Structure 1
Amino acid sequence: MWYQNDVSKCLGTKYPIIQAGMAGGVTTPRLVSSVSNSGGLGTLGAGYMPVADLKEALKQVKKQTDLPFGVNLFIPEKPECREEQVNSMQKLLDPFKKEMNLLIDSQFTINQADFEKQIESIINERVPVCSFTFGIPSKEIVKELKKEGIKVIGTATSVKEAFINQECGVDMIVAQGSEAGGHRGTFLGAYEESMIGTFSLIPQVVDAVKLPVIAAGGVMDGRGMIAALALGAKGVQMGTAFLTMKESGANAIHKRAILEAEETSTTVTSAFSGKPARGLSNTFTRTMKEYESQFLPYPIQNELTKEIRKEAGNLHNKELMSLWSGQSPRLSKDVYVHELIDSMVKEVEEGLHKLHR
């Protein structure tokens, strides 16, 4: 069968379908467990999670599935910027705060998740799969995870990044095409140099490395899976497709915006977090575009806009929210996870049958 391959066998899943680890509350334990129970690999997006929250989420996932699932972590960064740069950005953001009657507060602290403690929790809780974004972990961390039987997945947006992941010792590589929603996984050079489309990126990475490659970016249904397999990938990772599922923790306004969006609706912006990410264009992204040169690096910019994004969600104000989405919103569905995966599998089998005629 088409779905019995290196990825599904390594992960212990029925299908080589991975739900992307979308951080920020989208990947609820219910969504993660539903994907795993439907034959894919559910992934908890733990990039921003304090250790206590991570442990509680893992407990909830395990209550709802006894099948393999994963956790996605962000490689930590320690950027520097001057106080006057922070003050300048705060002034640019003040009008958005005033619009929502938020207090104008000059106090600023960065609260990053404790990466080492996150790794420790994943090992202690015997999480089956751990994936990484925004870079690669040390070889020591990879060895420690693999020693405990944990499968490790890296992210690459170019062949060079794929090589580095392979040298690091990961088990498989997600090759993220430019169509993907949310943050770019680029960690080498300027992100513009790695805005390579999925159709171009996948076969080049497949030819360059000896590890199983997972296609990400624009895959929403069975047709995307067939294309990925034809390009040499052994599986797919899907974010936007799962974001609109009924089990997703995404804000209802976010889901509706994607379901009503068009293929021309997205933009790549660093305005929200300091890292380039693809999402639906809105008042915030358009207004901030002229100040791109003043955006602060992640996670500083992310911390400065956090209150705005949170309150915009509370007020159902989609014009000031970070509405992450890939380039195929017209293919999004408002269904349950099992319905999406069942329809994907059916489409793949019907599509392969037609091709074999």
Structure 2
Amino acid sequence: MSSALWQRLQLKLPVIQAPMAGGATTPQLVAAVSAGGGVGFLAGAMLAPEQIRQEAAKIRGLTDRPFGINLFIQEPPAPDDAELELALRLLAPWHIELGLPPPAAPERYCQPFGQQFEALLELRPALASFTFDILDGKQMQALKQAGILVVGTATNLAEGLAWARLGADAVCAQGREAGGHRGTFIGPQEQSLRPMLSLVYELAQNLPVPVIAAGGIMSGKDIAGAMRHGAQACQLGTAFLRCPESAISQPWKYGLAAAKAGATRLTRAFSGRMARGLDNRYMEEMAQWQDQLPAYPVTNALTGPMRAAASKVGRSDMMSLWAGEGVAQARELPAAELMGQLLLEWQAAYR
């Protein structure tokens, strides 16, 4: 990144902790990464505005270092009745297996983005990142006036160029290896599955702003490799999932610990948007139907009760165990120790 940006963030290590929504990211994890010389990120996408305020206050109570807040850009959906009926019918057997009442449409499918955005502006974190879509000019101007650095997510060149034209301070290149949801908003998601190093190189060659690499980065050596391809920082998610500061469920942690190379796959079956996680029975049996399910966030809300119930009884075969392709290399270390290891490995890669 530009020297001014490096100085503003006071980075000791070019590591950004991925904002992993759904319980993985805690104030303790965010603060530990920031205190370790990187940038921690609060995953605000699934939090109510007041929850975002509360979590940010906890982070600031743990560290005075810069951190970021991430949001999903989305409007309240209006699902098609036929799609909704099919989804409820397909989920019914899974509910029966878990002893749950029949699935039903919730009152609300997602948090109000406009109110989340206002809370973010009020909190003035050092950075704000966005995925699933792109901001409008008025929103970008408001962030600039608040002194917040803006990071847009891109899974292809068109998206990267769009964020650069809008005035983003950096673009996060999400390679196909990345765990969790795909951020694609221009073109079909299936056509935006470039390997991380290839995507980073293309964006770095064509964008006038810094590029952040994301996807399959698990070690300091991986960080150095991405930076040799043009990245000026790296975003790591799966690498932090096994840290004790991560709040993921025990079945999820057990799955990560046992995972071998090649243990992940992409699916729409849990949320209606393509996402990468540990392969399981639900993914496999729902594969034939996944393209007919309502788009995110509708299916994500509909499967919420099933996933929560499965987690309580240790049924990992019905849980969304998000993880990237590098999951087998994840280390069970406190976040501060992991940051120290990443720094040593990164330095050794250059020596």
TM-score range normalised by the length of the shorter chain: over 0.9
1:14 Cα deviation after fit: 2.4
The aligned counterpart of 1:311 is 309
What is the correspondence of 1:250-265 to structure 2 with a 5 Å cutoff? 250-265=248-263
Work out the percentage of aligned pairs sharing the same amino acid. 36
Deviation of 1:77 after TM superposition, in Å, equals 3.4
Deviation at 1:107, TM superposition (A): 4.5
Are 1:188 and 2:186 an aligned pair?
Answer: yes
CA apart distance, 1:165: 0.5
* Partner residue, 2:32: 34
- Between stretches 299-308 and 123-132, larger displacement belongs to 123-132
CA distance in 2 between partners of 1:79 and 1:145 (Å): 25
**Equivalent of 2:224 in 221, 226, 248:** 226
Task: Give the counterpart of 1:163 among 161, 165, 171.
Answer: 161
Distance, in Å, in 2 between the alignment partners of 1:77 and 1:8 is 34
Answer yes or no: is 1:248 the counterpart of 2:246.
yes
Task: After superposition, give the CA deviation of every residue in 1:225-254 in whole Å (9 maximum; x if it has no partner).
Answer: 110111011010001001111101111221
CA distance, structure 1, for counterparts of residue 290 and residue 122 of structure 2: 42
Scaled by the length of structure 1, the TM-score of the pair is 0.95
User: Normalised by the size of structure 2, how large is the TM-score?
Assistant: 0.96
Alpha-carbon distance between aligned partners in 2 of 1:286 and 1:299, rounded to the nearest angstrom:
21
Between the aligned partners of 1:17 and 1:7, the Cα distance in structure 2 is 14
The count of corresponding residues between Structure 1 and Structure 2 is 351
> 1:4, 1:137 → 2: CA distance?
23
For residues 49 and 279 of structure 2, what CA distance do their matches in structure 1 show?
33
Conserved? CA contact 1:7–1:16, under 8 Å: no
Q: Which position in structure 2 is the counterpart of 1:204?
A: 202
Do 1:21 and 1:27's aligned partners in 2 also have CA atoms closer than 8 Å? yes
Task: Using the TM superposition, give the Cα deviation of residue 56 of structure 1 relative to its aligned residue in structure 2, in angstroms.
Answer: 0.9
Is residue 133 of structure 1 aligned with residue 131 of structure 2? yes
Structure 1 unaligned regions, length at least 5:
none
Partner of residue 175, structure 2: 177
Please tell me whether the aligned partners of residues 110 and 300 of structure 1 are also in contact (alpha carbons under 8 angstroms): no
Deviation at 1:4, TM superposition (A): 9.0
- C-alpha distance in structure 2 between counterparts of 1:118 and 1:37, whole Å: 26
The alpha-carbon distance between structure 1 residues 245 and 155, as it changes in their structure 2 partners (threshold 3 A), is same
The match for 1:84 is 82
Equivalent-residue separation in structure 2 for 1:156 and 1:149 (angstroms): 22
Residue type of the alignment partner of 1:70: G
- Aligned equivalent of 1:54, options 48, 52, 55: 52
Query: Residue 83 and residue 145 in structure 1: after superposition, are their counterparts in 2 closer, same or farther (change >3 A)?
Result: same
- Which is further off, 251-260 or 333-342? 251-260
Contact 2:86 2:293 in 1 (8 A): no
Structure 2, gaps ≥5 residues long: none
Q: What's the offset of the Cα at 1:5?
A: 4.9
Closer/same/farther in 2, CA of residues 142 and 318 from structure 1, 3 Å limit: same
For residues 140-199 of structure 1, what are the alpha-carbon distances to aligned partners after superposition, in whole Å with 9 as ceiling and x for unaligned?
Answer: 111111111111111001111100010111100100100000001111111111100012
Give CA deviations for 1:294-314 in whole Å, capped at 9, x if unaligned.
Answer: 211111111110101111111
Contact 2:105 2:302 in 1 (8 A): no
| Cα distance in 2, alignment partners of residues 5 and 90 from structure 1 | 52
- How big is each residue's C-alpha offset from its partner over 1:68-98, in whole Å with a ceiling of 9 and x where there is no partner? 0000000013444322321221111011111
Report the CA distance between 1:256 and its aligned residue: 2.0
Distance 1:345 1:4 in 2: 20
Name the residue aligned to 1:123: 121
When residues 336 and 233 of structure 1 are mapped into structure 2, their CA distance, relative to the original with a 3 A threshold, is: same
CA gap of 1:236–1:319, structure 2 versus 1, over 3 A, is: same
- The equivalent of 1:328 in structure 2 is 326
